Structure 1
Amino acid sequence: MTLTFDNPSEQRRWYSVDDGVMGGVSQSGFNVVDDEGHFHGEVSLENGGGFASVRREPNGFEPTLADAQGIALTVQGDGRTYQLRLKSSSLGDASAYRVKFTPPQDHWETLHFSWDAFEAVRRGTVLSDAPAITPNDIYQIGFLIADRTAGAFCLRVKRIESGH
């Protein structure tokens, strides 16, 4: 599986889920610009908020990750820490597998995450009794920022691919 951002229609597959679901006022979006995906917005700590996220629609995420050893991201950041989040049918709807990363600000870097780098979480709490990640059960991919820091952010993504 390789996901690139050379087709502007890719932008329509991503949607935001921000802290407004719990009263917060953070805002985010996802744009495709110059063959890059940009997860951007502003995190606000007001009203008990503090996170912003985007998710990619499940359909069209073929081929599956069944034979992959993990995921590789080619990214450039802004000094902030992000999460790559994977929704899996082996977890409840409010849960996901996550891995945290802080990409470089001044150059592109490909970060490799094996499946055992991911931890199961539900609303920010680690689920110690969750099953290990099963690549074949992953149906959604997304990014989240929840670093308890107010302000603007932008994660630039060049490609997302299955690691071998």
Structure 2
Amino acid sequence: MVRFLILLLIPISMINTIDIIDFGKSGNTNDWVIVNDDVMGGLSQSTAVAYENYVLFSGTTSLKNNGGFASYRSPYGNFNLKDLTAVEIKFKSTGRRFSFQLDAYRSWWYPNYKHQFSNNSDQWTTVQLPLGNFKEYKVGEQTGKKISQSQLENILRLGIILLDKEEGPFELQIDYIKFI
């Protein structure tokens, strides 16, 4: 008697390739989500509204109840960024300091990696954030380390976060995010 064992191998996670994330009604960001400090008792509030050529991420940050952050995040995936050099963002804002965030872990207490960006005018601005300059943060505090090449191979989530330790309203219009 011959027995056969058939194995079906299904990849747990496909490697996502990223060229450009186009925001707005014609874009590919309907599955991005808002994550605010209310997950830990904070009082900050934000929304994201898609317009024809951009998304408007806006709200109010509050430092009450040890809060103070608002974020707009991609769904979880598996992004390999090791062969890329920078993130390019075209945006317009009211002058607050935002960060582009790379998450290598699903748990909030593990490190994540951020690079700040801002502008002081209400004009469209394009910035390039070198991937090698992303700094490591743990529970909102900088550790003094930078992201490594091995960590760039296994990014689980992308996002925009406002964590500037200031209270008040904010607006950020994002046209696109491009990986180069």
How many Å apart are 1:6 and its aligned residue?
Answer: 4.3
The residue type paired with residue 157 of structure 2 is Q
RMSD: 2.3
State the alpha-carbon separation in 2 of the partners of residues 7 and 34 from structure 1: 5
The TM-score normalised by the length of structure 2 is 0.78
Once the two structures are superposed, what CA deviation does each residue of 1:8-49 show, in whole Å capped at 9, x if it has no partner?
A: 574531112211122111011222112102221111122221
Matches within 5 A, 1:11-160: 11-59=29-77, 64-89=80-105, 93-94=108-109, 95-128=111-144, 132-133=148-149, 134-160=151-177
- Point out where structure 1 has 5 or more consecutive residues left out of the alignment: none
How many Å apart are 1:65 and its aligned residue?
Answer: 2.9
State the alpha-carbon separation in 2 of the partners of residues 9 and 129 from structure 1: 34
How many Å apart are 1:138 and its aligned residue?
Answer: 1.6
Once the two structures are superposed, what CA deviation does each residue of 1:34-68 show, in whole Å capped at 9, x if it has no partner?
A: 21022211111222211111211134x87x43421
Residue 138 of structure 1 aligns to a residue whose secondary structure is coil
State the alpha-carbon separation in 2 of the partners of residues 129 and 142 from structure 1: 20
Q: Which has the higher strand share?
A: 1
How many Å apart are 1:113 and its aligned residue?
Answer: 1.0
Residue 159 of structure 1 aligns to a residue whose secondary structure is strand
Question: Measured at CA, do residues 4 and 36 of structure 1 come closer, stay the same or move farther in structure 2, by a change above 3 Å?
Answer: same
State the alpha-carbon separation in 1 of the partners of residues 45 and 85 from structure 2: 33
Identity of aligned residues (%): 26
For these two proteins, the number of residue pairs brought into alignment is 160
How many Å apart are 1:93 and its aligned residue?
Answer: 4.7
Once the two structures are superposed, what CA deviation does each residue of 1:125-161 show, in whole Å capped at 9, x if it has no partner?
A: 1224575254321221101112222111111111101
The structure with more radius of gyration: 2
State the alpha-carbon separation in 2 of the partners of residues 73 and 8 from structure 1: 17
